[in-house]
Amino acid sequence: MKLDSKIPSGPLANKWSKHKQESMLVNPANKRKFRVIVVGTGLAGSSAAASLSELGYNVDAFCFQDSPRRAHSIAAQGGINAAKNYQNDGDSVHRLFYDTIKGGDFRAREANVHRLAEVSTSIIDQCTAQGVPFARDYGGLLSNRSFGGAQVSRTFYARGQTGQQLLIGAYQALSRQIYSGNVNMHARHEMLELVVVDGHARGIVTRNLVDGRIEAFAADAVVLATGGYGNVFYLSTNAKGCNVTANIRAFRKGAAFANPCYTQIHPTCIPVSGDYQSKLTLMSESLRNDGRVWVPKKKEDLSKNPASIAEADRDYYLERKYPSYGNLCPRDIASRAAKQVCDEGRGIGPAGRGVYLDFADAISRFGKKVIAERYGNLFDMYATITGEDPYEVPMRIYPAVHYSMGGLWVDYNLMSNLPGLHVIGEANFSDHGANRLGASALMQGLADGYFVLPYTIGHYLATAKQPKVSTEHPEFKKALADAEARLKKLLSLKGKRTPDSFHRELGLLMWNKCGMARNARGLKELLQEIPALRERFWRELVIRGDAASMNVDLEKAGRVADFMEFSELLVRDALDRDESCGGHFREEHQTEEGEAKRNDAEFLHVSAWEYQGEGQAPLRHKEPLNYEEIKLQTRSYK
Amino acid sequence: MSAHNEKPMKLKLHVWRQRSPQQPGEMKEYALDNVDAHMSFLEMMDVLNEQLANNGEEPVAFDHDCREGICGMCSMVINGQPHGGHKGVTTCQLHMRHFSDGDDIYVEPWRAKAFPVLRDLVVDRSSLDRIIQAGGYVSVNTGGTPDANALPIPKTEADQAMDAAACIGCGACVAACKNSSAMLFMSAKVSHLGHLPQGQAERYSRVKAMVQQMDAEGFGNCSNLSQCEAACPKEISSKVIAELNRDFLKGSWRGE
Ligand SMILES: Cc1cc2nc3c(=O)[nH]c(=O)nc-3n(C[C@H](O)[C@H](O)[C@H](O)COP(=O)(O)OP(=O)(O)OC[C@H]3O[C@@H](n4cnc5c(N)ncnc54)[C@H](O)[C@@H]3O)c2cc1C
Ligand code: FES
């Protein structure tokens, strides 16, 4: 396998404009001769599908929810970064670029990240023109807040519903194109196979989740915008349907999977409350603008009413350990710090797995009204779930799985090593290195969909020169048969256990041995335990109902089966990366203060895994990371 | 978690079961023990489904995804009320602490002509998407837009736009309305865009196109009873309906 990142030559700041200049174009009259499949309608997919259709391409768009507007992007709360420097606080494209590279612990590509920072400003213009109701100051101009890992205020937001508003903007643009007839929208369709013809990605196979029909779709290029794989841990802040199916199916057809071990654990989530727990709820990072994180210094204070604990007996451990960033240090660092104090036996709440996020100071400084205006919906959400009032008692929070930095490998054009297969948004690996900064996923999704892919896919279509194919092609027939055989196999199992019960079991294994902290021994155990669990899954599962109608357990079973396979890849990568970096913390590699210790001499590369066939260990390739602009250094937020 | 000292509850569930749009449905009874007060309503349904599977029965199909009240996917009528009738709460955010040991709970799908049942509690809401497709947007293409701060918008206007834009498109308003009208859903979009300068160019044509689509989908007329407002999990005010009516009239005068 050849991994060519296709990073343009020349000075960093000119690469993107030069690349656009040099890319081939498809002339307007010819665009309608091309058809593009876009799987996923989150920020990345909706923005791409709408923009491609506006340009004149024919688009088939897919999502598994009942409407494109319900993609998981809808749940993003806190905000979206952009280097507008509206606050005149010293922000710039270069600073956003630098913060993102540093936040990612120097494991992302410079050229991609610089481009992301460059186009960030256009995103805010575009969304505003669509009618996204960003928060404004009294003068009527856009307002900003701060997010972790930055010392400037560059985060744009729409109350605590930024993802919702951005997605509705993209969904409306997509709706307009659906109305125009250029986009065929296929909701409640799940992609089950990628179809590759003569080495090029040419189509997909889907299951209609309403009537069970298996169908094939052919096109000139395929775009995966299928989101992240956090649900491999079962409990996460992701929506229930988030899955790795599309990505793992593409992996099996030859697309490289990059850095699967880079998963983000978010520091501020509502702790687990019982065995029945089905998901974890995020409390936005924006809360760390005003909330202070602490635990009692003394164990005997753990069960006391927090308000009665004297200031001197509280450990504001983030402010203590990281004075210059304080409560706004990056997520990986804040999460590990929370784990540390809980491991020391100073965690609060059930099972000692929690820390306080306290707004008492902010409320006394600004008043309850201002705090309610800033975070009202988050406070309400917290109260609804826990039955406690965060205006009166501090929130209890604990880290939870949140985001996947890893994903399918893509080059500078956002194309995978499989020609024609483009991957955008959280589904690719490209911009966040080993740790993503808050408010940068929304930025990346929309950058990819509105401003990068529409250019780069044009170049591919103009140069690929592939003959038209139809779903009559033998590769389509084969992919259809494969998808059907898999469903049949799942339905033939005569065990006793539900897909959910296996998913929970897998998640717990992963969280315990491949979660916030990992070590070689645990990872090696997982490489025994996962195949054993997978084997039980394929023996003990039972699915009621049939394939020819809506069957929720069949849907889940397919996803869990793919997680069973993917988890092993993730663990392999975690074992292979024998260093700590960003969200990937190997206990063997830490400084005396317990900070992640990178090993640039051996691991300054992207690990890209190639499928080798059923039952075979995948092959690891390396894409070296060349830092031309930035000097590598130890990340410090002290 | 406030200490787990509440006793587990026993509940009797009455759930709508329907295999397909073509087949008739019926209410079925299930007894459920061991329900924890801290569970969400959907977690309680998960437990029911696990129990059904163990008894060799098919699980109850229901729509859900984010489970935090924002995607608009969950959609159950609980004891006769969409989302259970607690102010500002979706089904997925409703917690079992609002129920008591021994309760009978009735769980049904959204009921409306424009929302055919697909299976059990799952309905087809694509009619709402088609209302947006007819005109619920600002017609701008990607690229070439002015600087976001070129046009200041008074905070009060922006806030009102945001109040309306908070709609999650769940359809509870339709399910609550005795005429199954989609007026609140549609007006929320009209109000969101109508409060922003970017939405002015198509202000009147938008309303007209959306209203036509709503009628074509088989939604009923506004009952003027504001049951929609009471059922809306995002507490969207029915005053947006007055805004729509005003724009609709104005548009007809202007011949747009
Ligand atoms: C609770 C929460 C809060 C967040 N807050 C922020 C924030 O404040 N700022 C920020 O920058 N980021 C935030 N993030 C991260 C950010 O929301 C996501 O990374 C981003 O929205 C992902 O967008 P996407 O378009 O790549 O994928 P998604 O929005 O996840 O969309 C995936 C799409 O793919 C479809 N799909 C998936 N698999 C298949 C399949 N097999 N077949 C067919 N369709 C399929 C789905 O239907 C969906 O349409 C948050 C994440 C969470 C979980
Ligand atoms: S599941 Fe998303 S709103 Fe209820």
Ligand 1 pocket, CB under 6 A? A 39-45, 62-65, 71-73, 75-80, 162-163, 190-191, 225-228, 237-238, 242-243, 245-246, 282, 402-403, 425-427, 439-442, 445
A171 belongs to a structural domain: yes
Question: Which site among B137, B193, B203, B206 would you substitute to test the A interface, given the most A Cβ atoms closer than 10 Å to its Cβ?
Answer: B137
Residue B2 has pLDDT above 50, yes or no: no
Given CA atoms A169, A170, A171, A176 in this order, what sign does their dihedral have? positive
Topology classification of domain B126-253: Fumarate Reductase Iron-sulfur Protein; Chain B, domain 2 (1.10.1060)
- From the list A66, A139, A142, the residue facing B63 with the nearest CB is A66
A494 to chain B, any CB pair closer than 8 A? The answer is no
A210 belongs to a structural domain: no
Which contacts of A213-219 are long-range, i.e. CB under 8 A and separated by 24 or more positions?
A: A214/A480, A214/A483, A214/A484, A214/A487, A215/A189, A216/A471, A216/A476, A216/A479, A216/A480, A217/A37, A217/A60, A217/A471, A218/A35, A218/A469, A218/A470, A218/A471, A218/A473, A218/A476, A219/A35, A219/A36, A219/A37, A219/A60
Residue B4 has pLDDT above 70, yes or no: no
**Where in chain B is CATH 1.10.1060.10?**
126-253
Give the closest residue (by CA) to ligand 1 atom 31.
A42
A552 to chain B, any CB pair closer than 8 A? The answer is yes
Q: How far is CA A300 from CA B5, B182, B241, in A?
A: 22, 57, 57
CATH node for B9-119: 3.10.20.30
Q: Output the pLDDT for position B256.
A: 65
Considering only alpha carbons, which residue of chain B is nearest residue A454?
A: B142
Q: Is B16 helix (H, G, I), strand (E, B) or coil?
A: strand
> For residue A258, what are its two tokens?
């990059």
**Final residue belonging to a domain, choices A350, A385, A401:** A401
Label residue B50 exposed, middle or buried (CB < 10 Å: 0-12, 13-18, 19+). middle
Range of the domain at A125: 45-187+221-262+405-464
- Tally the domains of chain A: 3
A471 belongs to a structural domain: no
A349 to chain B, any CB pair closer than 8 A? The answer is yes
Report CA(A362)–ligand 2 centroid distance (Å). 31
Average pLDDT score, chain A: 96
In tens, the pLDDT along B215-241 reads 999 999 999 999 999 999 999 999 999
Q: Based on the domain organization, do A56 and A146 belong to the same domain?
A: yes
What ligand is nearest to the CA atom of residue A559? 1
Give the closest residue (by CA) to ligand 2 atom 3.
B69
| C-beta atoms of B63 and A187 within 8 A | no
Confidence of residue A160 (pLDDT cuts 50, 70, 90): confident
A277 belongs to a structural domain: yes
Q: Based on the domain organization, do A95 and A226 belong to the same domain?
A: yes
Considering only alpha carbons, which residue of chain A is nearest residue B97?
A: A387
Give the 3-state secondary structure of A48-111. HHHHHHHHCCEEEEECCCCCHHHCHHHHCCCCEECCCCCCCCCCCHHHHHHHHHHHCCCCCCHH
Q: Are A73 and A167 in contact (CB under 8 A)?
A: yes
| C-beta atoms of A125 and B147 within 8 A | yes
Name beta bridge partners: A543.
none
In this structure, of A52-56, A149-153, A319-323, B94-98, the range with the lowest mean pLDDT score is A149-153
| Atom in ligand 1 nearest the alpha carbon of residue A282 | 1
Q: How far apart are the first and last CA of chain A?
A: 42
A601 to chain B, any CB pair closer than 8 A? The answer is no
CATH of the domain at A506: 1.20.58.100
CATH of the domain at A67: 3.50.50.60
Which contacts of A309-317 are long-range, i.e. CB under 8 A and separated by 24 or more positions?
A: A315/A341, A315/A346, A316/A292, A317/A293, A317/A341
> For residue A547, what are its two tokens?
């394939």
A16 belongs to a structural domain: no
Q: Based on the domain organization, do A183 and A58 belong to the same domain?
A: yes
Residue A571 has pLDDT above 90, yes or no: yes
| Atom in ligand 1 nearest the alpha carbon of residue A449 | 25
A106 belongs to a structural domain: yes
Q: Based on the domain organization, do A455 and A566 belong to the same domain?
A: no
Q: Based on the domain organization, do A226 and A324 belong to the same domain?
A: no
Q: How far is CA A504 from CA A388, A400, B207, in A?
A: 27, 15, 47
Confidence of residue A286 (pLDDT cuts 50, 70, 90): confident
User: In this structure, are strands A35-39 and A221-224 parallel, antiparallel, or unpaired?
Assistant: parallel
In tens, the pLDDT along A363-420 reads 999 999 999 988 888 899 899 999 999 999 999 999 999 999 999 999 999 999 999 9
Q: Based on the domain organization, do A110 and A257 belong to the same domain?
A: yes
ipTM reported for the complex, 2 dp = 0.97
Q: Which residues of A are catalytic?
A: 331
Q: Based on the domain organization, do A177 and A289 belong to the same domain?
A: no
- From the list A67, A545, A552, the residue facing B169 with the nearest CB is A67
Chain A residues whose CB is inside 8 A of the B57 CB are 544
A130 to chain B, any CB pair closer than 8 A? The answer is yes
Residue A293 has pLDDT above 90, yes or no: yes
| C-beta atoms of A133 and B139 within 8 A | no
**Where in chain B is CATH 3.10.20.30?**
9-119
Chain A residues whose CB is inside 8 A of the B206 CB are none
CATH of the domain at A315: 3.90.700.10
- Rounded to an integer, what distance in angstroms lies between the CA atom of residue A512 and that of residue B12? 37
Report CA(A429)–ligand 2 centroid distance (Å). 28
A610 belongs to a structural domain: no
Nearest alpha-carbon partner for A250 in A415, A25, A361: A415
Residue B3 has pLDDT above 70, yes or no: no
Average pLDDT rounded to a whole number, residues A562-589: 97
